[in-house]
Amino acid sequence: MTDSTADHLVLVGLMGSGKSSVGRRVADALGRPFVDTDLVIERRVGRSIREIFADEGEESFRDMESAVLSEVLSASTASVIATGGGVVGRERNRDLLSAHRVVWLRATIDTLSTRLVSGRSRRPLLDGDVRRRLIDLDDQRRDHYHAVASVTVDVDDRSLDDVVREVLTVTESR
C-alpha cells in the first residue's frame, strides 16, 4: 500500500461467491463504507452491465472496471470493496490489488452453479451453459485470485453469517 491510500479490504472471487452480500455485512460490522465496483460502473454509465456488454463489448467494460478499481483503491477512506469476478484478468489490476488486504471467496463449481443457474442473471458471461462457463472462468482465474489474495475463505456449505465471521476474524490481524 502506498502512503496516500487507505487500508481497504477487498473481496475477489468468481461470480456467485458472495462478494457483494459478504462485503456489505463486513462493512457494516466494521463501520466502513461499502463499495461495489459493478454498481459504481452501472450508476456512472446509467446502464446495466448486461447493456454495456451488449452495446460496447467486454473490452470497453473492462476499461471502465480498471478505471473504477484504480479510483476506489486510491480513495482515502478505508472501505470494504466488492469487485467483479473478472477484475483479476488484467495485470495492472492485479498489481493494484496486491497492495491491499484482499480476501478470495473461494467456492466450488457445484456451489456456484447451484447459486447461479436459477433465474436469468445480470451476468452476460454466464449466458448459455452456466456450469461450463464457470469451469472455464475458474481455470483462467484461479491462479490470479490466489496471487492477489492475502487470505482465502472457502464458502461452500456455509451460511452468510459464518462466512462474514471468518472474513472478520482472518482479516483482523492483517
Q: Which residues of the shown chain bind ligand S3P in the complex (CB under 6 A)? A: 15, 19, 38, 49, 84-86, 123-125
Nearer to ligand S3P, 85 or 145 (CB): 85
Residues 6+ apart with CB under 8 A from 64: 41, 44, 45, 52
Residue placing its CB nearer to ligand S3P in the complex, 115 or 158: 115
Nearest to 125 by CA among 111, 140, 110: 140
| 85, 137 Cβ separation under 8 angstroms | yes
Compute the least distance from the CB of residue 3 to ligand S3P, in Å: 30
C-alpha 22/C-alpha 3 separation (Å) is 27
CB of 89 to ligand S3P, least distance (A): 7
The residue among 84 and 144 lying less far from ligand S3P, judged by its C-beta, is 84
Max CA separation in the chain (angstroms):
45
**Of 13, 19, 38, residue with least CA distance to 160:** 19
Nearer to ligand S3P, 143 or 169 (CB): 143
Residue 33 or 124 having the CB closest to ligand S3P: 124
Q: At residue 88, what is the residue type?
A: V
86's grid cell: 473478472
Least distance between ligand S3P and beta carbon 44 (Å): 14
| Eight-class DSSP state of 42 | H
CB of 95 to ligand S3P, least distance (A): 19
Q: How far is the CB of 168 from ligand S3P (least distance, A)?
A: 21
